[in-house]
């Protein structure tokens, strides 16, 4: 049975225990991913969130309204079989973290970046054993090897389901430090979003909003909020 049936054929979406976690059943039949993998997730809360998405479908299945299902599919079909490659891609953000690249002017923006980002870099140094170097401009700099290694080890220690959510936290924010700060509950995702958009917020304040850019930002924000929720449901 395909996970992406074009029309609703079931009456009830329910949750049941399964080896290694919990599964979603549609009138007693298990949901599978697009690659035909049984959709078994690590926690009952995640399974219930997925079941609620299936139960909410009307006459046709609309994948765009099912973010938890899509993230779980990604964890099983994409992250699990290539875990090391995905973890390496995300860990690489530690060598070029957004929080380390600062403006040289105007002084108001310089001060705003420092006030927003310095406390998180201090936290990363103390709690993640990963002091990072700050620079002005966008020319890449080399970060301490021990710090990059410490951050990478933490990424590789995540489960495939955690990495599926963590991937989007980091890719959307542009910051491995922000991803860890959100996932470890040092800050909440709303604050994390705001901290990732310091430069963009500054530009809007100076020049006003662009409708297309604002719409794009809204989509990215929704994606980051969902990533945090999905990560939290991993247990």
CB atoms within 10 A of CB 169: 29
Cα 216 to chain centroid, rounded: 17
Q: What is the pLDDT of residues 142-191, one digit of tens each?
A: 999 999 999 999 999 999 999 999 999 999 999 999 999 999 999 999 99
Cβ–Cβ < 8 Å for 39, 73: yes
- What is the architecture of the domain spanning 82-233? Orthogonal Bundle (1.10)
Distance CA 121, CA 168 (A): 20
Helix (H, G, I), strand (E, B) or coil at 104: coil
pLDDT at 6: 65
- Looking at CATH, the fold of the domain delimited by 1-63 is given as ATP12-like (3.30.2180)
CATH 1.10.3580.10 positions along the chain are 82-233
Cβ–Cβ < 8 Å for 161, 41: yes
CATH 3.30.2180.10 positions along the chain are 1-63
Cβ–Cβ < 8 Å for 90, 166: yes
Distance CA 107, CA 187 (A): 26
Q: What is the pLDDT of residues 45-74, one digit of tens each?
A: 999 999 999 999 998 889 999 999 999 999
CA dihedral 110, 113, 119, 125 (to 10 degrees): -90
Q: What is the pLDDT of residues 6-26, one digit of tens each?
A: 688 899 999 999 999 999 999
| The overall pTM is greater than 0.85 | yes
Q: What is the pLDDT of residues 67-110, one digit of tens each?
A: 999 999 999 999 999 999 999 999 999 999 999 999 999 999 99
């Amino acid at each position: 049975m395909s996970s992406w049936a074009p029309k609703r054929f079931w009456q009830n979406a329910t949750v049941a225990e399964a080896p290694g976690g919990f599964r979603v059943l549609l009138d007693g039949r298990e949901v599978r991913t697009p690659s035909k993998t049984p959709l078994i997730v690590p926690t009952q809360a995640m399974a219930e969130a997925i079941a609620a998405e299936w139960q909410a479908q009307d006459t046709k299945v609309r994948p765009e309204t099912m973010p938890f299902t899509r993230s779980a599919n990604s964890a099983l079909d994409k992250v699990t079989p290539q875990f090391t490659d995905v973890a390496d891609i995300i860990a690489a953000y530690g060598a070029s973290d957004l929080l380390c690249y600062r403006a040289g002017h105007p002084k108001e923006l310089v001060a705003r970046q420092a006030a927003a980002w310095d406390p998180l870099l201090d936290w990363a140094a103390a709690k993640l054993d990963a002091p990072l170097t700050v620079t002005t401009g966008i020319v890449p700099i080399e970060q301490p090897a021990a710090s990059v290694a410490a951050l990478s080890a933490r990424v590789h220690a995540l489960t495939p389901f955690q990495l599926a959510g963590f991937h989007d936290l980091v890719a959307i924010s542009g910051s491995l430090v922000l991803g860890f700060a959100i996932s470890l509950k040092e800050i909440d995702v709303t604050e994390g979003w705001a901290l990732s958009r310091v430069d963009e917020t500054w530009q809007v304040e100076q020049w006003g909003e662009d409708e297309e850019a604002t719409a794009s930002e809204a989509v990215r924000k929704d994606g980051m909020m969902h990533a945090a929720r999905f990560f939290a449901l991993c247990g």
